[in-house]
Amino acid sequence: MGTEDYNELTSNFDLLSTLEMAKIMNEEDKKVPLAIERVLPEIARAIDIIVESFKKGGRLFYVGAGTSGRLGILDAAECPPTFSVDPEMVQGIIAGGEKAITSAVEYAEDDTEQGREEIRKRGVSENDVVVGITASGTTPFVVSALEEAYNRGAKTILITNNYNSPVKDFVDVAIEIDTGPEVIAGSTRLKAGTSQKLVLNMFSTISMAKLGKVYGNIMVDVKPTNQKLINRAVKIIKKVTETTEDIAIERLKACNMNVKEAIVSIIGNLSPAESKRLLEESNYYLRSALEKLGKNSVVEP
């Protein structure tokens, strides 16, 4: 496996100065986006599958062990505050359970029965998508989870950093990111992990954008649950509507802290109830709702 090979460029790594070590790690990290670029068609196909699942009320599951599992949990955890989705919509599953999020539980990745059980107990079905994340492409916990999901009719996607994974026989899309040997041989928390994080960013960001949770490049479905996010929500409302801060705050509160409803309320001079109804009629796509009010594009800075 390429991820287990020795990197000739770092064979004297322990003899380098601190700055030289940092430079060579930076040079190796630059290779990651280029490796991802080669598999963009597969990434796009995977995202389209995820969006189709969401539109049918399905869920997205990330399954991994170690670094890969933690990255899946991280991406899933960011979806509710960023896009105001139900926590059940995107879920992370890690070998070893919650303990493995903060502590290494290395033996858990070999537990094939637990991989299957994690899929069973969540009732994964044909409307769902399961993404297996494994640098090697052979992690037993991930392989068994994908196989169980496939047998239950779910769509399955593989993210790996090696070729010809045995799991390819039961996945709908295999994303094989050739990041090559690591700076420290076999330490896939480095380039392999970075590539996985970037792909998961694409999965969640693009799928949510295609569901209408982004307007232009604006996070209009942000959930204002702390002062920073409240400030962001007010800034968004001001930008899109060109209103004052006082009006933005007043409408946001009147609309139960829903940014989209506040925007529609201001632009359409509608009550909170009328704004909510218009958005419901537009499947909560802000752009569609604003077009019905005669507004066609994001306000420029």
Task: Give the tens place of pLDDT for each residue, 54-101.
Answer: 999 999 999 999 999 999 999 999 999 999 999 999 999 999 988 888
Written as six digits, the tokens of 2 are 């390429």
- Topology of domain 227-292, per CATH? Helicase, Ruva Protein; domain 3 (1.10.8)
Beta bridge partners of 94: 64
Q: What pLDDT sits at residue 106?
A: 73
| pLDDT exceeds cutoff 80 at 297 | no
3-state DSSP helix/strand/coil % of the chain, to nearest 5: 55, 10, 35
Query: Encoding tokens for residue 183?
Result: 């700076």
**Rounded alpha-carbon distances, angstroms, from residue 214 to 89, 139, 218, 220, 225:** 17, 35, 6, 6, 18
**247, pLDDT greater than 60:** yes
**Is residue 115 within 8 Å of 144, Cβ to Cβ?**
yes
Catalytic residue check, 300: no
Q: Summarize pLDDT for 180-232 with one digit per residue, the tens.
A: 999 999 899 999 999 999 999 999 999 999 999 999 999 999 999 999 999 99
Which region among 19-23, 29-33, 295-299 has the lowest average model confidence (pLDDT)? Answer: 295-299
Could you say which of 78, 117, 250, 274 is catalytic? Answer: 78
270, 278 Cβ separation under 8 angstroms: yes
Q: Which pTM was predicted?
A: 0.92
Active-site residue identified among 109, 118, 148, 182: 109
Report how far residue 24's alpha carbon sits from residue 231's, in angstroms, rounded to the nearest whole number.
Answer: 40
**78 is a catalytic site residue:** yes
- At 217 the pLDDT is 94
| Residue 249 structure tokens | 């705050």
Secondary-structure class of domain 2-210 per CATH: alpha beta
Is residue 170 scored above 80 in pLDDT?
A: yes
Domain ranges of the chain: 2-210, 227-292
Closest listed residue to residue 177, CA positions, set 26, 41, 49, 74: 41
Mean pLDDT within 232-253: 96
202: tokens are 């694409």
